[in-house]
Structure 1
């Protein structure tokens, strides 16, 4: 090969190089220690009958591969800095997003929460040991569930579904049945909003069954309340009442509404009263208005979007009783709250309700 290169250089009119030096050049080219000038590139293309890409991309591929190994090693090394203190910080960020969401709504949080999820996904992807992965996965599942609810609230049903799928996968990684059940329960609402109500009932029913005996009582109470609402939506009053009774049985006493196992759940007696009023409104039963008013009087003022949803239920209850003035007023207040929080989900409910109120005049 050296002789051939020497001959081709001569034919192409390149400056003469003695054979010993040419051997050194070839060795240095092969080991990447010497760049190949355009003249020698023409020589090598002629000798081997290959293109530039075919001849020289191998060197570039080695460079890319080395860079990829270095990048992976760096990310794995960086993941070691995600200790319990950092995990607590990430969990605290999720809690801040959750607080902002219930008061101000989802639209203003979309970019920040997306970046937060990316941080958590990367932290999980490059953590190696299961003992390091589980706590990260736990925080990721909670954040993804929050992101799912926010997406659903602004009409992003496919995005909501994907977030809940991420929450379920993270719950498996975290080995946490409570987080899994919560994600399944929330995901059932996506099915409701897309019209798959029977499938939604089957999903929430399985979530309750999977959670029984494995999750805190407050979580099980929340799941049963969700089952009652979805059963009412599906036109299954007996299943709905049965689920409400089970929810009340599992709910712990007192005004505490949080459980450390699933921070995304807020449920105490006041919340369950609101939920019961919602279910009875869906079923067209008497007594719904009284329970909704009781819940409204006791509601924490920071639950802005939840108040909007409650007032929609009240408007529906008043409409069913023929009290059109009260129905209009509650719908007006609910629309103001929906505008404040950017809740397209509540606006859709209000639009349908407004048509019913107008046709009842």
Structure 2
């Protein structure tokens, strides 16, 4: 923020001496070691004249003091505010006129990224996904009226949830959590209980992976109570199946709850021959997918009937769902291990490891290693 420091400082009505005094007071309160007053006078002068770069150390002091970001401090102009208003109105006008035409492009890009993620994994898509989200956030920021904001917010909610799951799969837990928070805020802006409930349901997996399974169960149950009358049947079935899996992962005492949630998922799933939710393309769930999910839950519960469900799912598995198939092989290995069939578990673990490495799935690799430790 070197080049714009003078503009930001004078906007606050501070002299250079006042800025130096505030920097020293800030550092003293936080036990930070900074340069002497004489040196700081030289630094501030050189920062403002562009002869010295502000280091991260001093930027970390100046940002909270001046209430400015690095980006806001990059420009020299302290004049005149009319230009700022003109730029703001230009962006607002552009967002208003382009919002309808942009949304189909946003959705198409999300669908492309979803397909690439499913087949190749998320590790090579980080920059593309970040750019995609940034474009939607920018459009939403300058869309004023609800009619213009809702379609963009809906698209952002779906893309953010996908980005969050990709981050979780890649082991970037903090980024996953923040993406889910973005998805929830976008869903609220879109007034969409479907996207809000779905983001909450997926976010519960972050808690489960972090060692808070009971809190995860509570969150996915709360998602099911989020205006259920406005949720689609397929989403409700998905949430019930997620609850079953999270209950199974929670350990002893949750077996009955897991079985009950599985039964509810079966009852809720519409028998319409569709694979995806027409109201919410993030949801892939038909009878075949649910059978595989049921096998996953039963394997976690140590139920002997898991084997039949899982092998049936393997026979009908869509090879394009590479990451999901890695999980399926993990489930088969876990089911064999529960029966003490170590030799039968090994080839499934090898295939799971191969697919996890192919997609770069940190989450599945961890599970493979955990199960390998039981051989």
Residue 234 of structure 1 and its aligned partner are, at CA, apart by 1.1
Q: Is the 8 A contact 2:99 2:143 kept in 1?
A: no
Q: Distance in 2 between matches of 1:197 and 1:319?
A: 23
Structure 1 residues not aligned, in runs of 5+: 1-51, 53-58
1:343 to 361, 365, 373: 361
1:277 to 295, 303, 311: 295
What aligned pairs does 1:90-105 form with structure 2 within 5 A after superposition? 90-105=106-121
Matched, 1:249 2:253: no
1:291 is aligned to 309
Matched, 1:76 2:76: no
1:160 is aligned to 176
The structure with the largest alpha-carbon Rg is 1
Residue 60 of structure 1 and its aligned partner are, at CA, apart by 5.3
Matched, 1:149 2:165: yes
Q: Secondary structure at the match of 2:373?
A: helix
What do the CA deviations read for 1:101-137 (whole angstroms, capped 9, x no partner)? 1111001111001000000001101001100000000
What do the CA deviations read for 1:75-107 (whole angstroms, capped 9, x no partner)? 112212324332111101101101111111001
Q: Distance in 1 between matches of 2:95 and 2:268?
A: 40
Q: Is the 8 A contact 2:247 2:258 kept in 1?
A: yes
Q: Distance in 2 between matches of 1:342 and 1:237?
A: 32
1:34 is aligned to none
TM-score (norm 1): 0.81
2:216 is aligned to 200
Residue 211 of structure 1 and its aligned partner are, at CA, apart by 4.3
Q: Secondary structure at the match of 2:371?
A: helix
1:266 is aligned to 284
**C-alpha RMSD of matched pairs (Å):** 1.4
Matched, 1:123 2:132: no
2:258 to 240, 244, 249: 240
Q: Distance in 2 between matches of 1:337 and 1:323?
A: 22
Residue 347 of structure 1 and its aligned partner are, at CA, apart by 0.3
Matched, 1:331 2:352: no
Structure 2 residues not aligned, in runs of 5+: 1-44, 46-75
Aligned residues: 299
Q: Distance in 2 between matches of 1:319 and 1:69?
A: 66
1:106 is aligned to 122
Q: Distance in 1 between matches of 2:286 and 2:174?
A: 31
Q: Is the 8 A contact 1:254 1:269 kept in 2?
A: no
Q: Distance in 2 between matches of 1:175 and 1:351?
A: 42
Matched, 1:304 2:304: no
Residue 68 of structure 1 and its aligned partner are, at CA, apart by 2.0
**Cα distance change on mapping 1:78 and 1:354 into 2, 3 Å:** same
1:88 to 82, 95, 104: 104
What aligned pairs does 1:32-47 form with structure 2 within 5 A after superposition? none
Q: Is the 8 A contact 1:228 1:241 kept in 2?
A: yes
2:83 is aligned to 67
TM-score (norm 2): 0.78
